[in-house]
Structure 1
Amino acid sequence: MTKNRKHFDANFKQDAVNYYYTSGKSLKKAAADLKIGESTLGKWVSAAKNNNGTVEHRGSGNYSSDAEKEIARLKKELRDSQDALEVLKKAMGILSN
């Protein structure tokens, strides 16, 4: 089962939050009008409340510093190594029987 995730750009997120505030509609109704999930719009509204009405959007793969980029790269490398180790452990278990 795969999740079909949509990616929204910063303008759409900001427009959606502005629509919610100016429409006077409930979160559920505003989300339905925009054809997005209620929880998605709720997260954007919450983020905007914490950031003076602006939705921050860095995009996927964008890091605020080189250190964050390096940390992300190292985490991915560690996950890949752990996955490879698990495969080898399973193979050893199968071969030893």
Structure 2
Amino acid sequence: MPKKTYTDEFKTDAVNYYYDSGLSINTTAKKLGVSISALRKWIKLSKKDGSVITRGSGNYSSDKDKEIVRLKRQLRDAEGAIEVLKKAISILG
């Protein structure tokens, strides 16, 4: 079976999705349709070269603000996953 190749943009998007989603590597890899070892390798490389910037937890003035941020993050994650899958389909299709 031929080895799948992914663009650098796809790899960066996948690593960003992993960090932003808060999901495990296994779950993220499964959702994106990539191998766990490939995702681990991309994460390791991104840490080395500093290409991915992670966000820290913010300070929120109220529970309402915290919930709004959580929902926005959830929406962004869903939209990001859709974009990554669209790119994967265009690469494989």
- TM score, norm. by length of structure 2: 0.53
- CA drift at 1:10: 0.9
4+ long deviations beyond 4 Å: none
What one-letter code is carried by the residue in structure 2 that aligns with 1:29?
T
Which secondary structure does the structure 2 equivalent of 1:40 belong to?
helix
User: Aligned pairs, how many?
Assistant: 52
Partner of 1:11: 9
- CA drift at 1:46: 0.2
Q: C-alpha separation between the residues in 1 aligned to 2:2 and 2:22?
A: 30
- TM score, norm. by length of structure 1: 0.51
Partner of 2:42: 44
- CA drift at 1:49: 0.5
Which secondary structure does the structure 2 equivalent of 1:50 belong to?
helix
Which of 13, 20, 23 is equivalent to 1:22?
20
Deviations 1:38-83 (A, max 9, x none): 00000000000011134xxxxxxxxxxxxxxxxxxxxxxxxxxxxx
Q: Percent of pairs identical after alignment?
A: 38
Higher RCO (Cα < 8 Å, 6 or more apart)? 2
Which of 51, 54, 69 is equivalent to 1:53?
51
Partner of 2:74: none
Gaps of 5+ in 2: 53-93
Greater CA radius of gyration, 1 or 2?
1
